Structure 1
Amino acid sequence: MRVPLLMALTVLLSGCASLSPQATALPQTQVPAAWSGSATTLAAATSLAQWWQRFNDPLLGSLVTQALQANTTVRSAQAALQQARALRDVSSANLVPKLSAAGSAQRSKSGDNEAGNLFKAGFDASWEPDVFGGRRSALNATEADAQAAQASLADTQVSIAAEVAVTYIELRGLQARLAIARNNLASQSETQQITDWRVQAGLASSLDLEQARAASAQTSAQIPTLETSATQAQYSLAVLTGQAPGALQALLTATGPLPQAPGELALSLPAETLRQRPDVRAAEHRISAALARVSQADAARYPGFQISGSLGLSALSLASLTTAGTVVNALLASVSVPLFDGGAARAQVRAQEAALEQTRMSYQATVLTALKDVENALVSLQGNRERLARLQTAADAAANADLLARQRYASGLIDFRAVLETQRTLLSTQDSVESTRASLSADHVRLYKALGGGWTPEPGTATR
């Protein structure tokens, strides 16, 4: 009679409960229809899962692949995902009844009576009906946490792949600039030798010779700086791929070409880009988790129910436990009703609602940052393209001027000041060309990253 009465009370209370509304809409964030000031072709979302292959550099591809497998940050994110999935399984297990087996042996003596034995064996079961959905909300929260951890792992992979590519491009750019500095040093040393001969012949002053020496020394001083930066880039690549700093030195010391991305890129629309980016998806899943925790906290304000029972055998000897043992069974139903807690339960609901608002604002910030990343990458890409074209023109002109100046100086037609100026201009423009070319390749990497490239998104996720 008590159990049906308890279940009737459960149904009655569940009908009277007023839980928090399950609003699932994401915060309204203004998303532009197209990218501003972009001359790049807009098209449907393109697959950028392995964008590094577009650079046609096998070494770059192998470094990125190794980093995605062995990088410590990636492996930490993988462990965080495993933890989140395990916690989800724990919450899922709380929804089903618990069953356990137990056995005991007791020997006791009272007064002058002979000692007696008591043996027991049986099963215990318990179940807490999820009347107000608190446990289901906890499961939904941990499920959303697991999805957010999976998206965070993808975001980590995107960041690591981009960092490896940018560092590799930086290394190749430094090697190219180092070659330019050495070539210019050789040319300046040749000019210095000619100046020395002219001074000995009385055709030039010692001032010209000292200026030539100063120019050569300045160029020579740039070489150790570039070599140091190149070595540091090698060390960074080794650590990014999960190895000791010097592990890749033999592989990367040889100079290689600067990776160049294809000139044209079909961009996805802003809304499609947001669906592609894993950090936006992670922020969306965190909203779902926070919303479920609001419901979980609200359900804690209502009565809790538990049904438990046991079934077993009891005997005075172990041999008779299964033959002549006494059957023992019990059934218990209980309810706990919070009467007064000083407002702690309601305060907990307010705390979870505040946490939900924080995740909403974090989502909006993530969306705005994603839009800014793409716009910044497009602006930088366009600016460096124009800069590179003009610098290449300047470098060609500087090379011609340097050749003419050295020829005329050797013939005694101009003074050394003109030669010194043209050599400085040549070195500066050639160095700027290689720096800008490396920046242009890095801009492509940053654009691929901003577009959410570097992972394969799971289907069926809609981002507003």
Structure 2
Amino acid sequence: MNRPALHRIGFALALTSLAACRTVGPDYAVPTDAAFQRTEANAAFIDTGNVQVAPGAELPPRWWELYQDATLNGLVEQALRDNVELKVADANLRRAAAVYEQALDAGGFEYEAEAGVSRAQLSAESFLLEHELPPINLADGKFAVSYQFDLFGKLKRASEAARADEQATAAAMDLARVSLVAQVAGSYVEICHANHELHVAEHSLQLQQRSRTVTERLIAAGRGTPPELARANAQVALLEAALPPLRAQRSAAAYSLAALLGQTPGQLPAGVIDCAHAPSLAQPLPVGDGRALLQRRPDIRQAERKLASATARIGVATAELYPDIRLGASVGAAGLLEDFGTPMTQQWSIGPLISWTLPSSGTHARIHAAEAGADAALAEFDHTVLQALRETQTALDRYAQDLRRLQSLSTAQEQAALAAEQNRRLYQGGRTPYLSSLDADRSLATSDATLAAAEAQVSRDQIHLFLVLGGGWQASTAAAGTPTAAK
């Protein structure tokens, strides 16, 4: 067979090999057996018997506005603008976006230009000369262009992984926003309830101080005894002792809120520290269903994007089994400065470059490591989904039980107030001993404090439920990568 025929056969074989090339590694889709795909995970939440929730209603994009509290809305907006942790998350997102742009720029055409001028003393002996050469002026310049073929999809998989990493970082920023809003609302509500509990405690203290005054007058009139006054003093001291912890609780919430707003302790908008009534919902709390929850929670989107990234990295590792192929060309000149650019100094080249590190056990080990990383990411994805469902169901049940408890405590407080008032009148009329009136006052003070604490707990339950539902940034799902079923 003649040489031209051999060349044609070799060229045909090369074309056939290139045509057979493909993107190696698995194409990503959420596995069909993932917890995210389960019918039970996408169903309605288990009925908690709570009339204060609306299972069929979806969360609005800005759930905190359901409280219809202008102060809370302003605090949230300030926190989203000035919070330091959000600035860190934003910087991380910008860095991930830059890494993705870098991955997109890999491969394809690359350009290189070099130029240099120097004065040099060459070695005479290197030219087998016996006399010293004179110094000379040298110049060189080159412009080169090359194109890297991504025949096996290594660069494509690397860009897929970088894109998924960027989307995971975006989901992490959404998660930071959700957590920040919940913390801001929680701290504000904590201040309001602490003030309310202080008011309740101070009112109970005032009632007991008046009762002590009555006891002192009765003793002065010969109708009371010193033990009764001692008991009254003890009750006043106990009620006074309840005030410092509540003040400390209010201060701690205020300092926390200031930090969330990016301020130093004590720097709060006017009126916040004096809030006496915590915002409350005027309608049942919307909770949606399991499917909406899984699509909405940022941590689930983050875990799913990490799984996508880990899957793409299997392709990156697998592509190491195959060669890298480049086509390059360069043109330039090199020689004496006075001759630079003349035909005798011109140089050029063109041709392919095949670089292939023959696969070793280390290459296969990297592939196995990438596969194990994808398995771990899938397990973490499943864990995040199951954790989200558990947290939400637990929060729903706790909210329902605390509402029932609040209703019972409200009834108890009403009865305690009635009993205290009746016993106080009977004691002042001399028809019952002081101990009966004191016990009734103690029961009322305890009921008032317990009811106020229960109201605060219900407010915390609401905010925690909004937190676990992941409301506020579901609109960014498309931007951060929506989990899709395997086909």
TM-score range, shorter chain: over 0.9
Are positions 1:38 and 2:56 aligned together?
A: no
The answer for the alignment partner of 1:291 in structure 2 is 311
Q: Residue 459 and residue 194 in structure 1: after superposition, are their counterparts in 2 closer, same or farther (change >3 A)?
A: closer
Cα distance in 2, alignment partners of residues 43 and 17 from structure 1 = 47
Deviation at 1:258, TM superposition (A): 0.9
Q: Residue 335 and residue 463 in structure 1: after superposition, are their counterparts in 2 closer, same or farther (change >3 A)?
A: closer
The answer for the alignment partner of 1:439 in structure 2 is 457
After superposing the two structures, state which structure 1 stretch, 243-252 or 406-415, moved more. Answer: 243-252
3-state SS in 1 of match to 2:213: helix
Are positions 1:67 and 2:87 aligned together?
A: no
After superposing the two structures, state which structure 1 stretch, 366-375 or 111-120, moved more. Answer: 111-120
1:28 pairs with one of 34, 41, 46: 34
Cα distance in 2, alignment partners of residues 332 and 438 from structure 1 = 76
Deviation at 1:159, TM superposition (A): 0.8
The answer for the alignment partner of 1:455 in structure 2 is 473
Amino acid in structure 1 at the alignment position of 2:272: L
Are positions 1:418 and 2:439 aligned together?
A: no
Q: Residue 182 and residue 325 in structure 1: after superposition, are their counterparts in 2 closer, same or farther (change >3 A)?
A: farther
The answer for the alignment partner of 2:354 in structure 1 is 335
The answer for the alignment partner of 1:170 in structure 2 is 190
Q: Residue 411 and residue 337 in structure 1: after superposition, are their counterparts in 2 closer, same or farther (change >3 A)?
A: same
CA RMSD of the aligned region, Å? 2.6
Q: Deviations over 1:195-234 (max 9, x none)?
A: 1122222212211110000000000001111111111110
The answer for the alignment partner of 1:232 in structure 2 is 252
Cα distance in 2, alignment partners of residues 7 and 333 from structure 1 = 17
Amino acid in structure 2 at the alignment position of 1:25: V
Deviation at 1:458, TM superposition (A): 2.9
The answer for the alignment partner of 1:183 in structure 2 is 203
Cα distance in 1, alignment partners of residues 63 and 12 from structure 2 = 59
| Matches for 1:119-198 after TM superposition, within 5 Å | 119-198=139-218
Q: Deviations over 1:231-269 (max 9, x none)?
A: 111001011111112212864332331110133134312
The answer for the alignment partner of 2:92 in structure 1 is 80
1:14–1:132 CA contact under 8 A, matched in 2: no
The answer for the alignment partner of 1:351 in structure 2 is 369
Cα distance in 2, alignment partners of residues 311 and 377 from structure 1 = 70
Deviation at 1:420, TM superposition (A): 1.3
Cα distance in 2, alignment partners of residues 90 and 5 from structure 1 = 36
Q: Residue 463 and residue 436 in structure 1: after superposition, are their counterparts in 2 closer, same or farther (change >3 A)?
A: farther
Cα distance in 2, alignment partners of residues 127 and 6 from structure 1 = 20
Q: Residue 86 and residue 213 in structure 1: after superposition, are their counterparts in 2 closer, same or farther (change >3 A)?
A: same
Deviation at 1:325, TM superposition (A): 8.2
Amino acid in structure 1 at the alignment position of 2:352: A
Amino acid in structure 2 at the alignment position of 1:329: W
Cα distance in 2, alignment partners of residues 217 and 430 from structure 1 = 17
| Matches for 1:257-336 after TM superposition, within 5 Å | 257-314=277-334, 316-317=336-337, 321=340, 326-336=345-355
2:412–2:447 CA contact under 8 A, matched in 1: yes
Q: Residue 437 and residue 116 in structure 1: after superposition, are their counterparts in 2 closer, same or farther (change >3 A)?
A: same
Cα distance in 1, alignment partners of residues 247 and 147 from structure 2 = 69
3-state SS in 1 of match to 2:141: strand
1:177–1:431 CA contact under 8 A, matched in 2: yes
2:26–2:312 CA contact under 8 A, matched in 1: no
Q: Residue 382 and residue 18 in structure 1: after superposition, are their counterparts in 2 closer, same or farther (change >3 A)?
A: closer
Q: Residue 280 and residue 7 in structure 1: after superposition, are their counterparts in 2 closer, same or farther (change >3 A)?
A: farther
Deviation at 1:367, TM superposition (A): 0.7
Cα distance in 2, alignment partners of residues 426 and 136 from structure 1 = 71
Deviation at 1:312, TM superposition (A): 2.1
Amino acid in structure 2 at the alignment position of 1:42: P
3-state SS in 2 of match to 1:252: coil
TM-score with structure 2 length normalisation? Answer: 0.88
Amino acid in structure 1 at the alignment position of 2:438: L
Q: Residue 256 and residue 14 in structure 1: after superposition, are their counterparts in 2 closer, same or farther (change >3 A)?
A: farther
Long gaps (5+) in structure 1? none
Cα distance in 1, alignment partners of residues 364 and 97 from structure 2 = 29
Deviation at 1:286, TM superposition (A): 0.7
2:42–2:294 CA contact under 8 A, matched in 1: no
Long gaps (5+) in structure 2? 125-131
The answer for the alignment partner of 1:377 in structure 2 is 395
Are positions 1:253 and 2:258 aligned together?
A: no
Are positions 1:108 and 2:109 aligned together?
A: no
Cα distance in 1, alignment partners of residues 84 and 96 from structure 2 = 18
1:313–1:326 CA contact under 8 A, matched in 2: yes
Cα distance in 2, alignment partners of residues 239 and 287 from structure 1 = 34
Q: Deviations over 1:134-174 (max 9, x none)?
A: 11111100000001110110011001111111121111111
Deviation at 1:89, TM superposition (A): 1.0
Q: Deviations over 1:437-457 (max 9, x none)?
A: 222222222222222212242
2:26–2:311 CA contact under 8 A, matched in 1: no
Amino acid in structure 2 at the alignment position of 1:69: R
Cα distance in 2, alignment partners of residues 276 and 16 from structure 1 = 39
Are positions 1:218 and 2:238 aligned together?
A: yes
